[in-house]
Amino acid sequence: MKTIRFCPAKVNLFLEVTGKRPDGYHELATLFAKINLGDHLVVEATPAETSEVTLTLTGPVASMLQADENNLACRAARIFLDHFHITARIHMQLEKNIPTGAGLGGGSSDAAGVMLALCDIFHKDKRELLVEAARLGADVPLFFYEETFLKGEGIGEKLTPVEAPGKMPFLVLVYPNTAVPTKEVFKRLRLPAPEAILTKRSNLDKLITYIGCASPLAGWKHLLFNRLEECVVPFKNSVRNVLLDLRKTNTDAVLMSGSGSTVFALVETEKEAKDLVNKLQNEERIVFFTTFHRSLKDENNGNKDTSYGGGSPQSVCKCNV
């Protein structure tokens, strides 16, 4: 059997680090948003006496990865087979469009896509894989959800869908051809004071309320925040240059995504976005124009499935924040 999936990238509209656990992982308060930049995955599975997993990589950034057993897509397939005690020959074709080390969750999205594709093929319940998915990567469970916007807590695996009923801005993403290892970023992090954390967490709640009220970008762009910028921008000239170039264009809704290195801007109109792409494009970076990823679930009047691992959708419309 064969199945095809789109594996979307994500950006973080907000990211605060709230603490560090004894196991070394950091606690987060974040707002994830899936976007229409993504990888394209084809998964074929046939019964076999012994299991075999193979991967073919294509696409503009395929050379950034190895098609071996350490690839997250291959590891995800092996986890699926082991968890459900299935023997099969699995072949995957992955068209890579999401750069690696970019703060866009590409590897996590691919891993989730493989697990979900195999659940479809073998008629298994995806909820049974959530714990294994979180062990594979903190961002992997995010892509088990169909919703576009999700509030993330814990190490990012405690997820609550957030309704966004209104028109959303366009996105321009700039990848400065620099991969930023996440471990390197967190080594530089100095946790903020508890008072600062409380303030920022209240801003996250305000941001969610504004988005849930379909407020224009002008009303909430000042709430965009990423604590990890201070751990990347002073140390990576290419990332800093992108931020400076974006701000020179009088675009003020600008933020680094995740642990970097991609920087994105939110703009109100498609024309503004395309003009910005033309201004920013050069041989030292890759610039993308895209939109937020809307699933069928997002379009169906807020009919949310939160029966696995998440809370109820947040949609409190009190915009006097």
Q: Is 10 a catalytic residue?
A: yes
Binning pLDDT at 50, 70 and 90, where does residue 312 land?
very low
- Candidate from 8-22, 69-83, 103-117, 187-201 with smallest mean pLDDT: 187-201
- Tell me the pairing of strands 26-47 and 149-153: antiparallel
pLDDT tens readout for residues 227-239: 999 999 999 999 9
CATH number of 2-161: 3.30.230.10
Q: Mean per-residue pLDDT for 72-86?
A: 98
Instruction: State the average pLDDT for the chain.
Output: 90
- Tell me the pairing of strands 88-95 and 158-162: unpaired
pLDDT tens readout for residues 112-137: 999 999 999 999 999 999 999 999 99
Judged against a pLDDT cut of 90, whether residue 305 lies above it is answered with no
For a pLDDT cut of 90, what percent of the chain falls above it?
A: 79
Judged against a pLDDT cut of 90, whether residue 18 lies above it is answered with yes
Would you list the domain boundaries of the chain? Answer: 2-161, 163-290
pLDDT at residue 38, as a whole number: 97
Choice among 110, 139, 245, 298 that is catalytic: 139
Choice among 10, 34, 96, 221 that is catalytic: 10
pLDDT tens readout for residues 248-291: 887 889 999 999 899 999 999 999 999 999 999 888 899 999 99
Q: Is 139 a catalytic residue?
A: yes
Long-range CB contact pairs, 15-23, < 8 A, 24+: 15/225, 15/226, 15/227, 15/228, 15/258, 16/192, 16/197, 16/200, 16/201, 16/204, 16/225, 16/227, 17/189, 17/191, 17/192, 17/227, 17/228, 18/197, 18/201, 19/191, 20/191, 21/155
The CATH architecture assigned to 163-290 reads 2-Layer Sandwich (3.30)
